[in-house]
């Protein structure tokens, strides 16, 4: 261009003959693992071919099966490490709940390996306790239920995390016809023993005088066998 140190392309008649690059070095397995983190977290069992297809359609990048496996494993290691760190701080979480909600109930149950009972455990045995269950009943929810209709709904559902587990809940019905969470627990599985443990804690929180007049609604699973514990 006149009187300027620059160029302006006004017309180009040549055809582009370069081939498309489908192998881009900047997209390393570490970068791709972060890009696929959310997708793998939602579905840890996602197939490698799905990751390869997604990378090709989104970034026009071809992944080999080996690189896709490496990407998935790095993402899983990051996800599981994050969950493991949170479980290690479960007592900090319980302490914060009790500090910010005075009068609440938080019960944590752990399990230890059989070697813990031995006087001289085998060398190299991991004797650290492992999380098994946690029961939480917030004081505000407990006080609210005391003046609500004596009706409790009980149910459980799966927890879709790498460590699995079950969420057990006790739900009330407030004057606005809205659900009122009374207590909840995270347990290893929905069994008679876990429901018994949950209901005994619930009975201790609400008291026998209140809970004996309550109507329980459940899906007629294992919980039904344990309702007589509160009577």
pLDDT at 79: 82
pLDDT at 180: 93
pLDDT at 209: 85
**Which CA distances in Å does 18 have to 14, 21, 188?**
12, 9, 57
Residues contacting 141, CB < 8 A, separation 6+: 180, 181, 182, 183
**Which tokens in the block code for residue 104?**
């609440």
Ordered by start, the domain boundaries in the chain are 29-80, 84-116+128-218
* H helix or E strand, kind and range, residue 95: helix 90-100
167 burial class (0-12, 13-18, 19+ CB within 10 angstroms)?
A: middle
Could you tell me whether strands 179-187 and 215-217 are parallel, antiparallel, or unpaired per DSSP bridges?
Answer: unpaired
What parts of the chain have a pLDDT lower than 70?
Answer: 1, 16-26, 220-231
pLDDT per position as a tens digit, 104-144? 999 999 988 777 777 777 787 777 888 999 999 999 999 99
Q: Give Cα 212 to chain centroid, integer Å.
A: 34
pLDDT at 224: 54
Residues contacting 16, CB < 8 A, separation 6+: none
Query: Residues 143-156, buried b or exposed e (16+ Cβ, 10 A)?
Result: ebbeeeebebbbeb
pTM score over 0.95: no
pLDDT at 174: 87
pLDDT at 169: 95
pLDDT at 121: 75
Alpha carbons 147 and 32: distance in angstroms, whole number: 53
């Amino acid at each position: 261009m006149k009187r300027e140190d620059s160029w302006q392309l006004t017309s180009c008649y040549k055809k582009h003959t370069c081939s498309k690059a489908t192998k881009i070095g900047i997209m390393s397995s570490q970068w791709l693992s972060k890009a696929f983190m959310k997708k793998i977290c939602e579905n840890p069992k996602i197939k490698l071919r799905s990751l390869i297809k997604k990378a090709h359609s989104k970034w026009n990048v071809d992944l080999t099966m080996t690189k896709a496996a490496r990407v998935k494993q790095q993402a899983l290691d990051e996800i599981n490490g994050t969950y493991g760190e949170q479980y290690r701080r479960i007592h900090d979480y319980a302490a914060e709940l009790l500090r910010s909600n005075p009068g609440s109930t938080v019960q944590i149950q752990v399990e230890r390996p059989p070697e813990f009972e031995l006087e001289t455990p085998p060398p190299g045995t991991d004797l650290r306790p492992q999380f098994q269950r946690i029961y939480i009943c917030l004081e505000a929810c407990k006080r609210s239920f005391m003046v609500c209709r004596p009706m409790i709904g009980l149910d459980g559902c799966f927890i879709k995390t790498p460590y699995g587990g079950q969420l057990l809940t006790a739900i009330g019905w407030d004057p606005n016809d809205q659900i009122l969470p009374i207590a909840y627990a995270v347990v290893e599985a929905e069994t008679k023993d876990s429901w018994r443990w949950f209901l005994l804690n619930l009975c201790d929180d609400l008291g026998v005088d209140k809970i004996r007049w309550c109507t329980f609604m459940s899906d007629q699973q294992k919980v039904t066998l344990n309702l007589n514990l509160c009577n």
